[in-house]
Amino acid sequence: MNPLEYTVRLNNGYEIPCVGFGTWQTPDGDTAVMAVSEAIKAGYRHIDTAACYENEVGVGQGIATSGIAREKLFVTSKVWNTERGYEKTLAAFEKSLSDLGLEYLDLYLIHWRASASHYDNWEEINLETWRAMTELYKAGKIKAIGVSNFLPHHMEALMKTEVPPMVNQIEYHPGLNQEETVAYCKQHGVLVEAWSPLGTGRMLNNGELKAIAAYYGKSVAQLCIRWCLQNGVVPLPKSVTPSRIAENAQVFDFIISEADMQKINAMPYFGGSGLHPDKVNF
Ligand code: A2P
């Protein structure tokens, strides 16, 4: 079996392939079409995009040209910050669906929480967005719903709703393993996904990671992806380079030892984007 088809079960029973293909910073048009087609050819069955990446049209064309049956793919998109609230979220969802050329999404996420520094009623705004997502979920237009870049205190109100989130997608890589958020999610049955599992490339020249990767005869990129998997986190590596897209899928033929996992888990902060959910200015 193609190991990229291995799945993890979400808290609503829906299955999500354990490695996704990231498309943040992938330009729309030919590049997005090529990258997504290459990924599907390499065996990826889980594609992650977002309205704000401005590449949903190309991602959708990549899916269409691959010729793969829709039900074999898991496709995620996200509602952007300017579209929060009930009515706007419903409209944003329809736009994403139409840009992607799809009839349903597997996963739809709130891209960033409305923050207390910007809005006195931030929690109410998040709940209104969530009400729209819940409605779309119940109508079968989305198979699973979740959040992205939410810290535990952003999640609390949503966890008490009729349909609590199934996923939280956060920045996650060596040097930024967000222990508190991951522990909260695990405790509440919310699957964690890793955006920038390679630190947007910033992991790749780290000496300690290079030494560990060399021991396994693997690249640092493969080590980081495998490290996510062994921590129960779904990695979403991004690449527009066919050889790297294929390389990043070769992560099922080695096991990182417990000692090395602990060594990587304990690495001090480095290589983060600096986009802290309580501090970002958007
Ligand atoms: P490119 O897209 O030009 O191939 P992340 O997934 O953490 O966001 O990291 C994505 C960045 O890492 C991109 O710049 C991507 O480059 C690069 N990258 C992805 N996979 C590899 C790899 N196997 N080796 C080296 N660089 C990689």
Chain segment 202-238, per-residue pLDDT in tens: 999 999 999 999 999 999 999 999 999 999 999 999 9
What is residue 129's predicted lDDT score, i.e. its pLDDT? 98
Residue 239: how many other CB atoms lie within 10 Å: 21
Residue 244 alpha carbon to ligand 1 centre in Å:
7
Q: What is the pTM of this model?
A: 0.98
Contacts with 67 (C-beta within 8 Å, 6 or more apart), sequence order: none
Whole-number Å distance between alpha carbons of 279 and 12: 32
Tell me if 149 sits within 8 A of 181, measured CB to CB.
no
91 burial type by CB count under 10 A (0-12 exposed, 13-18 middle, 19+ buried): middle
Whole-number Å distance between alpha carbons of 8 and 233: 10
Instruction: Say if residue 251's pLDDT is above 90.
Output: yes
Residue 213 — left, alpha, or beta (φ > 0 → left; ψ -120 to 50 → alpha)?
Answer: alpha
pLDDT in tens, 137-189: 999 999 999 999 999 999 999 999 999 999 999 999 999 999 999 999 999 99
Whole-number Å distance between alpha carbons of 74 and 231: 21
Active-site annotation holds for 53: yes
Residue 268 is which amino acid? P
Question: Which two structure tokens, joined as six digits, stand for 205?
Answer: 């020249």
Ligand 1 and 235: CB distance under 6 A: no
pLDDT in tens, 94-143: 999 999 999 999 999 999 999 888 889 999 999 999 999 999 999 999 99
Whole-number Å distance between alpha carbons of 209 and 223: 8
Average pLDDT of the chain, as a whole number: 97
Contacts with 160 (C-beta within 8 Å, 6 or more apart), sequence order: none
Ligand 1 and 225: CB distance under 6 A: no
Ligand 1 pocket test: which of 36, 169, 238, 243 has the largest number of ligand atoms within 8 Å of its C-beta? Answer: 238
User: In ligand 1, which atom is closest to the CA atom of 238?
Assistant: 6
Short-list 154, 223, 220, 136, CA closest to 190: 154
Q: Which residues pair with 18 in a beta bridge?
A: none
Whole-number Å distance between alpha carbons of 198 and 221: 6
Q: Angle, to 10 degrees, between the axis of helix 258-265 and the axis of helix 207-216? A: 160
Tell me if 136 sits within 8 A of 142, measured CB to CB.
yes
Phi and psi of 158, rounded to 5°? Answer: -70, -30
